[in-house]
Chains A and B, each alone.
Chain A
């Protein structure tokens, strides 16, 4: 295997090479370094990379561990000890994490090497990574288009073979949506399945760390490595963590999958997407799956509910960025009030400010009942929809996004339209269930192929099931074998 070909491997493939001592962890890092230095100036997936630290770890890593010697890219709001952790924000431009997030610790103990911090929408607020304070990340399928967001850097890195796998966070779709737009696999685990300790909070009751990978098997490997109860996060669930990758190949006959009618009739649904999803549903049927039409009657309220709860929690979570203890601080403020307003005024971007103001508003006295309290009630209704659905089916299928990757600036002026990118994804966050996006075809636009994602939703702690279905679908199709123009596989 030549160093230039190495980055094109899947994690499963790379592990074979490492275990047989075909390549050394050091060679893997070096090969990736060459590729990143070569290609990332075009893509812009990374905000910072500490190759020296990774090389040092490569020297002592045990390649027989489940992820021994595999470098993994980390979204820049997850704390990696000693490395920058900007969250895509000016206010944390020079902030270095003094400790490892639990997911990073877990990756390390599985033998993985954290390598590089990926670009993102500031504090994970966005669906295109355009809200990063530092740079644009370009879609490896068409560099005039966004990679999706907010974990756009993590998705683009995997699609462009600048990473074997990566971690993102999904608060309303921020893993699944960029996975769909970049043509990779992205998993949003059940709320509480993965620790949030060390993951800079956007919306605490919705945030969940999830992996990106080139295949479902790789994704399962990463999911097993990062999942599990954590005494430092009281919202984690005490359930055992299976090795998801060991139990992927199953027969899909007797599996029942629901198609929510509310997800297919929206006029916002792109025609390419509709066609691809219909074909994917037929493919699943041909694999023995029984398709059941069902209804999630409160779907139309999901976006509003989501934006009330997410912004309310964010308004408190982001209050700590005040320049008092760390982070960028406005100079020469005359008093504490001016210190706060100037530090935050200069340090936070427009979308973040918009959401903090929204969240502050919905929590304020006189409005709390009309917005926040009501949103929590609707959240219960949406939970009820899904609980009813999962009594009839094992999983729910839908498009991941209503649209394919759009061009830079196309939606920046219309935040509402941008928020609609979450329409199929954010119910999983509101209800705490798990979801996965897997490639299911392409849209042919302006002589480019643009990926489309299929979303599978499973009930809480049923990651194994949706990974099995996604794996069966992936094995029955060739979509994952088609590599982006900017990947190492072309």
Chain B
């Protein structure tokens, strides 16, 4: 392609606080319309905002996790515009002094979509992170509009990237990585489908030969990370086609239709809105130093650090470590299963192969997996000690996954314990050697492959229960 895409994202994140940003109303979804409201979040005459310090802490925590510069003061401004979902007709937001500036979100291979792996490590630079209050939600009926103010005044964190994302895959990886970090820090549940994470994209395309950015086109209304990727892919394609045909792009705002798989024009070149920002006189600026000190201990181990530790501590491959570390829940599961295990590498293999595919086949997540981590550790232990074979283990695993029983229980009830009684095995080996003189002689003469045949015969005789490793050892001894 002879064109370069510059994509900037504005991500709105609902913070996980118990109460709203400026009043004591609960932040809880699914309540009846306007159940969580009070004079403050309804903008009644005389009501005043009081800062929820936990919202400040969560934003500062995000800033620390993303390597941002932290503002020494928290200062809030009024952003003035009329809209029915805005109780005061101004939004308390941050204008010239966001809580966090700069910083970055590291991406790595596993954050990319599954059909677009193998990219090099990169990080997306951020412009700023600020805190503001969310607005209410409008519901349009046939002849009227209803407004539910439950969401009004809930804390909303806005993360703005630099326009330095260059492909839809990168945008996907950025959102996936950010989401993981937000979840890990306990900042937000960051579920895009639930509106806990909302994203607007600014896209512009320029010919490689030119330095200045092309017209900025904003896309709204995506409600999943893959939706963002698809919308961007569509949009880049559209813009490049227009440019190739020699047409000029104008600044505009477009919506995304997930069903039709295309963007559509919402409005052209908005007359720039004058928000008349000014410092909110109701909120006294607060120094952030003590709040920052409070949240420092809450900064969790982030995926990159966790991945390195997994390689070091559990001797697993970098690739496996990346997959595990990238998913908070998977990482937690792995660490509990690997606790005290002699072969953590095998545990990682079981999680990444059998468990992952069983979960996806059953449309489940690791959090509702029937096999507790200790049970998986037990299963791997049984294989390791030779009590069951690798092949038997697959059956045992399937049973455990379906029933939730422990590995030992499944082995006992199914009677599939491996035959490791040496006397019985010796007897069977003798029988097989006598019955197959030719392969036995071949092995003695140096044909190693004959041993497999003989082992197979013993397994057959034991109806599959013999410990193949032991059988091999006995046969070798007897045929020396």
Partner of A101, one of B46, B49, B274, B281: B46
* Contact assessment for B50 and A235 in the assembled complex, using a CB-CB cutoff below 8 Å: no
Partner of A363, one of B46, B80, B88: B80
Contacts of B282 in A (CB 8 A): 201, 204, 233-235
Q: A99-B39, A234-B284 are in contact. Are A363 and B45 (CB under 8 A)?
A: no
Q: B202 on the interface (CB 8 Å rule)?
A: no
Partner of B276, one of A77, A97, A324, A363: A363
Contacts of B274 in A (CB 8 A): 364-365
* Contact assessment for B87 and A234 in the assembled complex, using a CB-CB cutoff below 8 Å: no
Contacts of B277 in A (CB 8 A): 363
A contact residues, total (Cβ < 8 Å): 44
Question: How big is chain B's contact interface, by range?
Answer: 20 to 34
Contacts of A204 in B (CB 8 A): 280-282
Closest beta carbon of chain A to B258's beta carbon, Å? 27
Q: A165 on the interface (CB 8 Å rule)?
A: no
Q: A360 on the interface (CB 8 Å rule)?
A: yes
* Contact assessment for B78 and A316 in the assembled complex, using a CB-CB cutoff below 8 Å: yes
Closest beta carbon of chain B to A192's beta carbon, Å? 9
* Contact assessment for A85 and B45 in the assembled complex, using a CB-CB cutoff below 8 Å: yes
* Distance, CA A315 to CA B82, complexed state (A): 12
* Contact assessment for A322 and B89 in the assembled complex, using a CB-CB cutoff below 8 Å: yes
* Contact assessment for B48 and A232 in the assembled complex, using a CB-CB cutoff below 8 Å: yes
* Contact assessment for B90 and A319 in the assembled complex, using a CB-CB cutoff below 8 Å: yes
Q: A254 on the interface (CB 8 Å rule)?
A: no
Residue of B42, B78, B80, B276 contacting most chain A CB atoms (<10 Å)? B276
* Distance, CA A232 to CA B84, complexed state (A): 25
* Contact assessment for A324 and B90 in the assembled complex, using a CB-CB cutoff below 8 Å: no
Q: B51 on the interface (CB 8 Å rule)?
A: yes
Closest beta carbon of chain A to B242's beta carbon, Å? 32
* Contact assessment for B48 and A322 in the assembled complex, using a CB-CB cutoff below 8 Å: no
Q: B47 on the interface (CB 8 Å rule)?
A: yes
* Contact assessment for B46 and A205 in the assembled complex, using a CB-CB cutoff below 8 Å: no
Q: A234-B284, A340-B82 are in contact. Are A319 and B89 (CB under 8 A)?
A: yes
Mark interface residues in B345-369 (1 if CB within 8 Å of A CB, else 0).
0000000000000000000000000
* Distance, CA A85 to CA B84, complexed state (A): 23
Q: A325-B42, A326-B44 are in contact. Are A205 and B281 (CB under 8 A)?
A: yes
Contacts of A231 in B (CB 8 A): 50
* Contact assessment for A316 and B80 in the assembled complex, using a CB-CB cutoff below 8 Å: yes
Q: B453 on the interface (CB 8 Å rule)?
A: no
* Distance, CA A197 to CA B49, complexed state (A): 9
* Contact assessment for A325 and B50 in the assembled complex, using a CB-CB cutoff below 8 Å: no
Q: B283 on the interface (CB 8 Å rule)?
A: yes
- Interface of A, secondary structure class, is loop
* Distance, CA A232 to CA B42, complexed state (A): 15
* Contact assessment for B45 and A235 in the assembled complex, using a CB-CB cutoff below 8 Å: no
Q: A198 on the interface (CB 8 Å rule)?
A: yes
Q: B43 on the interface (CB 8 Å rule)?
A: yes
In the complex formed, the residue of A with least CB distance to B49 is: A234
Residue of B39, B48, B282 contacting most chain A CB atoms (<10 Å)? B48
* Contact assessment for B87 and A325 in the assembled complex, using a CB-CB cutoff below 8 Å: yes
* Contact assessment for B48 and A233 in the assembled complex, using a CB-CB cutoff below 8 Å: yes
Closest beta carbon of chain B to A33's beta carbon, Å? 27
Contacts of A233 in B (CB 8 A): 48, 50, 282
Contacts of B276 in A (CB 8 A): 315-316, 360, 363-365, 368
* Contact assessment for B84 and A336 in the assembled complex, using a CB-CB cutoff below 8 Å: yes
* Contact assessment for A312 and B278 in the assembled complex, using a CB-CB cutoff below 8 Å: yes
Contacts of A70 in B (CB 8 A): none
Tell me the chain B residues, 10-24 only, with Cβ under 8 Å from chain A: none
Q: B25 on the interface (CB 8 Å rule)?
A: no
Q: A456 on the interface (CB 8 Å rule)?
A: no
* Distance, CA A198 to CA B42, complexed state (A): 13
* Distance, CA A387 to CA B173, complexed state (A): 57
* Contact assessment for A196 and B48 in the assembled complex, using a CB-CB cutoff below 8 Å: yes
Contacts of A325 in B (CB 8 A): 42-44, 87, 147
* Contact assessment for A79 and B50 in the assembled complex, using a CB-CB cutoff below 8 Å: no
Contacts of A203 in B (CB 8 A): 281
Partner of B46, one of A201, A235, A319, A364: A201
Q: A393 on the interface (CB 8 Å rule)?
A: no
Closest beta carbon of chain A to B434's beta carbon, Å? 93
Contacts of B48 in A (CB 8 A): 196-197, 232-234
Closest beta carbon of chain A to B42's beta carbon, Å? 6
Contacts of A196 in B (CB 8 A): 46, 48
Tell me the chain A residues, 302-319 only, with Cβ under 8 Å from chain B: 312-313, 315-316, 319
* Contact assessment for B50 and A324 in the assembled complex, using a CB-CB cutoff below 8 Å: no
* Contact assessment for B46 and A320 in the assembled complex, using a CB-CB cutoff below 8 Å: no
In the complex formed, the residue of B with least CB distance to A92 is: B45
In the complex formed, the residue of A with least CB distance to B88 is: A320
* Distance, CA A201 to CA B46, complexed state (A): 6
Closest beta carbon of chain B to A372's beta carbon, Å? 6
In the complex formed, the residue of B with least CB distance to A197 is: B48
* Contact assessment for A363 and B278 in the assembled complex, using a CB-CB cutoff below 8 Å: yes
Q: A184 on the interface (CB 8 Å rule)?
A: no
Q: A199 on the interface (CB 8 Å rule)?
A: yes
* Distance, CA A372 to CA B281, complexed state (A): 13
Q: A98 on the interface (CB 8 Å rule)?
A: yes
* Contact assessment for B44 and A324 in the assembled complex, using a CB-CB cutoff below 8 Å: no
In the complex formed, the residue of A with least CB distance to B81 is: A319
* Contact assessment for B281 and A235 in the assembled complex, using a CB-CB cutoff below 8 Å: yes
* Distance, CA A92 to CA B82, complexed state (A): 19
Q: A95 on the interface (CB 8 Å rule)?
A: yes
In the complex formed, the residue of B with least CB distance to A322 is: B89
* Contact assessment for B50 and A234 in the assembled complex, using a CB-CB cutoff below 8 Å: yes
Closest beta carbon of chain A to B23's beta carbon, Å? 9
Tell me the chain A residues, 290-349 only, with Cβ under 8 Å from chain B: 312-313, 315-316, 319-322, 324-326, 336, 340
Contacts of A79 in B (CB 8 A): 45-46
In the complex formed, the residue of B with least CB distance to A101 is: B46
* Distance, CA A60 to CA B343, complexed state (A): 77
* Contact assessment for A199 and B43 in the assembled complex, using a CB-CB cutoff below 8 Å: no
Closest beta carbon of chain A to B33's beta carbon, Å? 13
Contacts of B80 in A (CB 8 A): 315-316, 319, 363
* Contact assessment for B46 and A234 in the assembled complex, using a CB-CB cutoff below 8 Å: no
* Distance, CA A199 to CA B47, complexed state (A): 8
Contacts of A326 in B (CB 8 A): 44
- Can you pick out 11 interface pairs between chain A and chain B where the beta carbons lie within 8 Å of each other? A196-B46, A204-B281, A204-B282, A234-B51, A316-B89, A316-B278, A320-B87, A320-B89, A324-B84, A363-B277, A363-B278
Beyond the given pairs A78-B46, A97-B46, A360-B276, 19 more chain A to chain B contacts, judged by CB atoms under 8 angstroms and listed by A's residue number, are A77-B46, A85-B46, A98-B44, A199-B46, A200-B46, A201-B46, A203-B281, A204-B280, A204-B281, A234-B284, A316-B90, A319-B82, A319-B88, A320-B88, A320-B89, A322-B84, A326-B44, A340-B82, A372-B278
